[in-house]
């Protein structure tokens, strides 16, 4: 008898050290955004859309101190097609990211990306704007950065997915350049917010253990949310101040 056990040709899949997270936050954001859009429709039917009036990104009102307008546009949309496209993006990217990041980090990723997008729009775009695409571009960027930082674990499949994320982001940015109604600065800001947050605070997995008890451990599980948040705020708060004191948009 061989005293050394021979491992099977196909080792068992590596498991995560933490339990998978159900995408409850993703679906809650989706439902809340749709609910707010219904309130917008009701307001338009009554010729008094208070929801949009109070929440849209409007630069002059932001300079008067209404700073919530750097976040609230993420819940507002201008048409059924507009909200359908953004909620489709949330549905496609949200569940996997929420599972990998955990609810707290996913929450921060979503709203810090929205904040970053609205800050760059506030700084460089004089027109009012609204929509969740700032946050959705942050999710696209986060997915790409996650794949890049964990590329050694994902191998060729990961590289193909990174290219796919670059193509998706590039196509949408190019589409924004030829459509004057689209706030491309908001999209670029959302991308930067998602990239920065994930670079400093997104999950970075390593394999621990020996056969047959391999498991994935997130090196940033304890401090990722804080690190990512601090990095985004340190980058975008000065831009917010710049837009306030030296309006270019």
For residue 217, give the 3-state DSSP assignment: strand
CB 148 within 8 A of CB 162: yes
Burial class (CB in 10 A: 0-12, 13-18, 19+), 45: exposed
In degrees to the nearest 10, what's the CA dihedral of 123, 127, 130, 135?
Answer: -30
- Cα(28)–Cα(151) distance, integer angstroms: 30
Compute φ and ψ for 46, nearest 5 degrees.
Answer: -95, 5
Give the active site residues: 133, 187
Residue 207 has phi, psi (to 5 degrees) of: -90, 130
Which helix H or strand E contains 101, and what residues bound it?
A: helix 80-101
Q: Within its chain, how far is the Cα of 46 from the centroid?
A: 33
* Positive or negative: CA dihedral 172, 175, 180, 181: negative
- Taking only Cα atoms into account, the Rg of the chain, rounded to an integer number of angstroms, comes to 21
- Are 111 and 71 within 8 A, CB to CB? yes
């Amino acid at each position: 008898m061989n005293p050394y056990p021979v491992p099977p040709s196909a080792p068992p899949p590596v498991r995560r050290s933490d339990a998978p997270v159900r995408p409850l936050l993703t679906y809650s954001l989706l439902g809340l955004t749709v609910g707010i859009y219904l309130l917008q429709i009701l307001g338009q039917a009554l010729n008094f859309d208070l929801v949009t009036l109070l929440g849209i990104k409007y630069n002059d009102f932001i300079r008067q101190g209404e700073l919530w307008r750097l976040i609230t546009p993420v819940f507002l949309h201008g048409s059924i097609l507009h909200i359908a496209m953004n909620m489709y993006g949330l549905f496609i990217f949200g569940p996997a990211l929420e599972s990998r990041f955990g609810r707290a980090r996913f929450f921060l990723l979503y709203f810090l990306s929205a904040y970053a997008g609205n800050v760059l729009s506030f700084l460089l775009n004089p027109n009012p704007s609204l929509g969740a695409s700032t946050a959705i571009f942050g999710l696209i960027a986060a997915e790409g950065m996650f794949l890049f930082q964990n590329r050694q674990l994902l191998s060729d499949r990961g590289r193909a997915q990174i290219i796919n994320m670059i193509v998706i982001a590039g196509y949408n940015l190019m589409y924004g350049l030829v459509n004057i109604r689209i706030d491309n600065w908001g999209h670029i800001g959302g991308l930067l917010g998602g990239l920065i947050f994930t670079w400093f605070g997104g999950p970075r997995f390593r394999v621990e253990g020996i056969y047959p008890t391999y498991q994935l451990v997130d090196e940033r599980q304890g401090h990722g949310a804080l690190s990512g948040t601090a990095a985004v705020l340190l980058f975008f708060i000065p831009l917010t101040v710049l837009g306030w004191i030296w309006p270019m948009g």
